[in-house]
Chains A and B, each alone.
Chain A
Amino acid sequence: QKEVEQNSGPLSVPEGAIASLNCTYSDRGSQSFFWYRQYSGKSPELIMFIYSNGDKEDGRFTAQLNKASQYVSLLIRDSQPSDSATYLCAVSSYSSASKIIFGSGTRLSIRP
Chain B
Amino acid sequence: DTAVSQTPKYLVTQMGNDKSIKCEQNLGHDTMYWYKQDSKKFLKIMFSYNNKELIINETVPNRFSPKSPDKAHLNLHINSLELGDSAVYFCASSLLLAGGFNEQFFGPGTRLTVL
Contact = CB atoms under 8 A, between A and B. Distances in A.
The answer to whether A binds B is yes
Interface residues of A, number: 26
Given A44-B106, A98-B50, A98-B56, A92 B44 contact: no
Given A49-B103, A51-B99, A98 B31 contact: yes
Interface in A13-48: 31-32, 34, 38, 42-46
Contacts of B102: 32, 92, 97-98, 100
Contacts of A8: 40
B55 interface: yes
B13 interface: no
B106 to A, nearest CB: 4
Contacts of B108: 42-43
Interface of B: 31, 40-45, 48, 50, 55-56, 90, 94, 96, 99-104, 106-109
Interface of A: 8, 31-32, 34, 38, 42-46, 49, 51, 86, 88, 92-94, 97-102, 104-105, 107
